[in-house]
Amino acid sequence: MRIKEYFKSKPVFSLEIFPPKPGSPLDGVLATIAALSDLRPDFISVTYGAAGGSRSHTVEIADTIKNKYGIEALAHLTCINSTKEEVAAILGRLQAAKIENILALRGDRPADQRTTAPASTAFAYASDLIKYIRETADFCIGAACYPEVHTEAENADADLRNLKTKVETGVDFLITQLFLDNNLFYAFREKLEKMQIKVPVAAGIMPVLNKKQIERITSLCGASIPPKFRRILDRYEHNPEALKEAGIAYATEQIIDLLSSGVDGIHLYTMNRPAVAKQIFGQIHGIRQHLKAET
């Protein structure tokens, strides 16, 4: 099923996983999918080459999610430094596996290509990939958006204008980068409304379990750490159990607030930690039931 259909009875609950590093076996991620399938999310997304994860396994893992567990799969696909032939080959593999949903991304520039000039490849921006997919195949297409502005954008207004162009190229729904302050999301949602960007927006939530990990991620993606969460990190950084408990509670609180405010979807970055996702979903079970009954 096409993910845009799920958004007709929001909120949509989704989970994100990543493939193992190149050359590593798939057993771990397959066990993760088995565990996450118990949570019956609306869809599970699989990253593509993010944070050193393998690209070659994304289709295979999405295939397992969809065809073994009967859960809708969203395959991420990046285009920077890819040729049209390479993208066409992936689209063909996705079609063969009956995957109907793609998260179309530009991808991060390799460290030696960090500049704000357009990438000199067949696809300079995600919108070029989206245009190509629309012209050559039939997929439901999601894309990324950034409540705290993409790191390379000239400024917030330019980033929003670029987002509008991207959406108009053929995006069915958006997923945000992680954020730790819901007010940033609400302000972003208002800006989208003003810009007449009307596609559903799922909020990307990452349960933080480790100080070094979140500091590395936020320094790369430009998300900020609000004082409230900074105090948690500083207080419990040397006690992994306490930090984990606080990180899970914080993410749960974010989710409850977002759901109460009518968010279109919650996209949980699981970091391949099914026990953490289970704990969070366990805490919102009643809320999920309530919202389902309302639709």
Ligand X SMILES: Cc1cc2nc3c(=O)[nH]c(=O)nc-3n(C[C@H](O)[C@H](O)[C@H](O)COP(=O)(O)OP(=O)(O)OC[C@H]3O[C@@H](n4cnc5c(N)ncnc54)[C@H](O)[C@@H]3O)c2cc1C
Q: Token pair for residue 73?
A: 């799969």
- Considering the rule CB under 6 A, would residue 127 count as an interface residue with ligand X? yes
- Considering the rule CB under 6 A, would residue 122 count as an interface residue with ligand X? no
Residues 242 and 178 sit within 8 Å (Cβ to Cβ): no
Side chain identity, residue 247? G
Q: What angle do CA 174, 177, 183 make, to 5 degrees?
A: 95
DSSP state of 121: S
Task: Give the H/E segment covering residue 294.
Answer: helix 285-294
- Considering the rule CB under 6 A, would residue 20 count as an interface residue with ligand X? no
Work out whether the CA dihedral 229, 232, 235, 240 comes out positive or negative: negative
- Considering the rule CB under 6 A, would residue 156 count as an interface residue with ligand X? no
Closest distance to ligand X from the beta carbon of 238 (Å): 30
Binding letters toward ligand X, positions 204-243, x by CB under 6 A: x---------------------------------------
Binding residue for ligand X (CB under 6 A) from 26, 97, 153, 184? 153
Q: Token pair for residue 174?
A: 């958006």
Side chain identity, residue 291? L
Beta carbon nearer to ligand X, 195 or 287: 195
Q: What angle do CA 55, 7, 12 make, to 5 degrees?
A: 70
- For residue 245, indicate whether it is catalytic: no
Beta carbon nearer to ligand X, 152 or 237: 152
Closest distance to ligand X from the beta carbon of 125 (Å): 3
Catalytic residues: 16
Q: Which residues bind ligand X (CB under 6 A)?
A: 47-50, 76, 78, 103, 105-108, 125-127, 144, 150, 152-153, 159, 162, 165-166, 175, 177, 204
